[in-house]
Amino acid sequence: MAAYANFDSSGGMTRQAWWWAVASPVVFWLPWRACWGDSGTVTGLVLALLLAASAVSDAFYRKIPNWSTYPAILWALGLSVSADIAKGLACPDVVEALGGLGAAGCLAGGVGTFGAALVVYRSGGIGGGDVKLVACLGSLVPWQRLLAALTFAFVAAAAFAIVSLIAGVALGLVKGQGLFCGFANSRQRSLPLGPFLAVGTLAALCLELEGLTP
């Protein structure tokens, strides 16, 4: 935990993280394209890197750092604008390689999901990092896939929370702490949403590839 705190402080390691987050789509572009072929877009690569970094960070440290979300939003907007320009210049191959929602779709998706997530955040349902991650997804993913991803994510998170609650109560009873103490201990554990958003997005993508979503 201390190492991560240093990594996310105002020192040089944070600057390295920001530079790496900005440059990583360029670094991994050729391997990504070699792996996925024509279906591997730059937007898809940015999404994969965002979800991987956010899921790992949230799972282990209960935090989604700004260096994982802010560059992703900038990449999403830049790619969408570039795709619009390439479309205007009649370069379909470039548009296909870039991916993106278009500038209007990117802004609408990002702002809309940010506003909706902010409402949930103010009610205490999610954290600030989750709000920014959902906004990133809104700027990168079409709304149909995003809706499916969020549905899968929250269903999986709810199921995990129920199982954790039951396990906590059972463990409390085994330790002789009583039913109430076991329930209270289970309620005190925070649930990282980042991994579930990653799993939900992957599930939605798989269903889309199988033709099971509109």
- pLDDT digit string, tens, across residues 4-56: 334 444 444 578 888 888 999 999 999 999 988 888 899 999 999 999 999 99
- Strands in the chain per DSSP E: none
Same domain, 148 and 135: no
Q: Find the domain containing 191 and state its range.
A: 143-214
The answer to whether residues 150 and 76 belong to one domain is no
Same domain? For 132 and 159 the reply is no
With beta carbons less than 8 A apart as the criterion, state whether 213 and 148 touch.
yes
**Shared-domain flag, residues 93 and 193:** no
Residue 183 sits in the same domain as residue 87: no
Q: Count the domains in the chain.
A: 2
**Structure tokens given for 129:** 């990092």
Same domain assignment for residues 172 and 212? yes
pLDDT band for 123, please (50, 70, 90 cuts): confident
Is this structure's pTM higher than 0.75? yes
Distances (CA, A) of 61 to 66, 100, 125, 129: 14, 30, 18, 12
